[in-house]
Structure 1
């Protein structure tokens, strides 16, 4: 990872009190993610801890994380930052010399192969058939298995050195020719990580789908435990993709004219739509039987991101599945998000909602992945879910009650209710009255459901009638 380039542009969070700092540290998941991510992907999570931990301590973690990589300039800068006024130990120069020697060697051994592969003649003669390509390159240009393997070694070397774009190209060329399934699998993991770090989200999604196809295959070569572990890794890698947008808006003109404002608004909406699409896909994937069982067995903390995705997309048709999963995992894992779902839909304990919202607000600002989202929109969706749930249980709800539940001042609650004046009204004493459906609306719903039921019944009868003719 290049020192001047951050993988994650973390937003500046609100000022945290001592209590909020303690809360953020308590529910931080970095120590859990470390076991299921490549160290290059762990780095931005460590870097994000600068908001909740002592910067000097974070710098020490960053150094320890990456000191064994080949990113010598980055590691040297970290060491000098931790030891101001001291000279670099000789071992750094020795390591740099060794890496440079290996770089020259790998560059020389792959240069001709890469030139051949990029030539117009070869490009015109290559086909979809990998066996044909290998035979053609071997006979015509002398590219054998050893030269193909050099591409893998060089790709791995460049990744370890922090040149992720070069690593991605090398690993891709290797996969196009290699028949070694184990190395191809490893190369795909490396290419996925390289695309994530380079912010190439469409390419990252393609690599993710390739890995998923291999891991989820019925003919998977490894053991069941190995398949479970690989799927757990894939889940953690995927969060980088799902919580980022594949659409990147171009920098809008700084002028205040209406055209610029309209473009900014359009770009913002497109980004939001793309992100919601990603998160909806994540919900569908993570709630599928194989992935949900993996989450429950290996990484129940992923439920946090499922709940956040649900709140962000308002895909409440999947709420029942998430409630069931949270209820099952209550004794294994809990955080403010899972407690919110448990309080609203399992125990119906609404007295602690205010504390939970305060805790969730802190995590929205400090969690590496969640901080990518629109915090204000996320909180508003959460308040709406709380309101819709609580009003189904309580009939004597007041503005004061809602202030406590939302952990908000009265003007905020009044604005919330005003925006829903077609659904609720407020009496003079502050009581909230939920408007019931009109009889015609209820009758229409009954009619539509009956109509659908009648259609299904006719289908069954017709099928039975047709079978009886044989």
Structure 2
């Protein structure tokens, strides 16, 4: 199943430390030759301060060669750097951990900085030592220590760029230490920070152009940040208890759905898998957290997106939903489900949900099959579900008895048939549902047009200001 493995596609959007678990998983699954994966691990480790790990990988790959001397030189430099950064950071940490100082700090970072400067002669440059030491600890694998220092820096720093960088480092550290509740809070905080970074006004863009410095498109920068956040968030959403529902809430929102469609359509595998996993089954446990309409109707929404993006991405997971809900080809859906089962089992993020995925997928097939047919041979439906006849009969009978299908279906065990007697849906009800959907989409489109109109008007005003300020100069010339 190497052709469906996404590791090579995902790793360019991950920090090198986050890539190590994916490569370790490839060694376990055997999707790629182990020696090739070890070479990739070594190339990643060389760029970190985890010298012992890099040396062990080098010895495994090249058993007859001498370890390069550069590793020992880097180790000596790293020890001296560690001592220096620790001394600088500890001077700041000793001040901010004083109980009276901790109580005196407020929400206003500028006020806190002025307080520390007046009372303890701490400057912004000294506070940056927390960031430098946290980043260095992260580089040699002390993720819990890195998280602590980056958190303290982020609370005090007024530098927006370094604060965002500390956000990313803190999120990666929480992921690598397996603190999923804390990681989810950090993920939400980082997403709010990225979403709130509105495009810069026209004046700032023109001023950077006048200074002969390349102007960065704010919208493009925000798109890149969201693309990276989508990939990093997979670690959190597929390990947190409520992660699959939260993934659907985030990824199906307009901003992030547009990001996926524009920059990373392969993420549709995980959106589709999450939609299938969260769909109700007879064996699923009732969640104490109420689901939103977006999560409840996730399969329907995901199918629409998959249908639109089918030209640029397709795999057995997305193809299964396409064949089932668009083509209504149950034979093809059966074949795609067989391949999707293997894809999910080998996938780093989806492997632990293999059984849930398969159970939910079979429920979707059964519901769609029973919606179309009135008389169903239980043995034939068992084949559609990739189940042995005896096991399939038990599974189907249990499904009908424990779901809403039991209201419309009757089981004839003598003839091994299911009789569906579903009353036809009134025409006016169908019209009401379609009209409601059109009304919601029209409202969303109107709001988007209003926002774009307001942005264009602001741009025109800024342009006119620039022109008026230039005209007197031109007249003098």
Give the shorter-chain TM-score range: 0.7 to 0.9
TM-score, structure 1 as length reference: 0.78
In the aligned structure 1, how far is the partner of 2:133 from the partner of 2:197? 32
What CA deviation, in whole Å up to 9, does each residue of 1:61-97 have, x standing for no partner?
Answer: 1111221101111111111222225442211111111
Aligned residues of 2:374 and 2:421 also touching (Cα < 8 A):
no
TM superposition shift of 1:106: 0.8
Aligned residues of 1:172 and 1:191 also touching (Cα < 8 A):
yes
Aligned residues of 2:7 and 2:22 also touching (Cα < 8 A):
yes
TM superposition shift of 1:41: 0.8
Q: Which residue pairs with 1:322 in the alignment?
A: 302
Aligned match for 1:226, one of 206, 212, 221: 221
Aligned residues of 2:95 and 2:101 also touching (Cα < 8 A):
yes
In the aligned structure 1, how far is the partner of 2:83 from the partner of 2:412? 76
Aligned match for 1:155, one of 116, 134, 140: 134
Q: Which residue pairs with 1:15 in the alignment?
A: none
Query: 1:361-400 to 2 correspondence within 5 Å?
Result: 361-373=341-353, 375-400=354-379
After TM superposition, the runs of 4+ consecutive aligned structure 1 residues lying more than 4 A away are none
What CA deviation, in whole Å up to 9, does each residue of 1:22-76 have, x standing for no partner?
Answer: xx21111111111211111111111111112222222111111221101111111
Give the CA RMSD over aligned residues: 2.3
Say whether residues 1:109 and 2:109 are aligned partners: no
Query: 1:265-414 to 2 correspondence within 5 Å?
Result: 275=241, 277-314=242-279, 315-373=295-353, 375-414=354-393
Q: How many residues align?
A: 391
TM-score, structure 2 as length reference: 0.77
TM superposition shift of 1:320: 2.2
TM superposition shift of 1:364: 2.1
Unaligned runs of 5+ in 2: 201-216, 280-294, 437-477
Per the alignment, do residues 103 and 183 of structure 1 end up closer, same or farther by CA in structure 2, a change over 3 Å counting?
A: same
Q: Secondary structure at the match of 1:128?
A: coil
Aligned residues of 2:379 and 2:389 also touching (Cα < 8 A):
yes
TM superposition shift of 1:147: 0.7
In the aligned structure 2, how far is the partner of 1:163 from the partner of 1:145? 25
Q: Which residue pairs with 1:201 in the alignment?
A: 180
Q: Which residue pairs with 2:22 in the alignment?
A: 45
Q: Which residue pairs with 1:260 in the alignment?
A: none
Task: Flag the structure with more relative contact order, 1 or 2, with Cα contacts below 8 A and sequence separation at least 6.
Answer: 1
Say whether residues 1:430 and 2:419 are aligned partners: no
In the aligned structure 1, how far is the partner of 2:34 from the partner of 2:78? 30
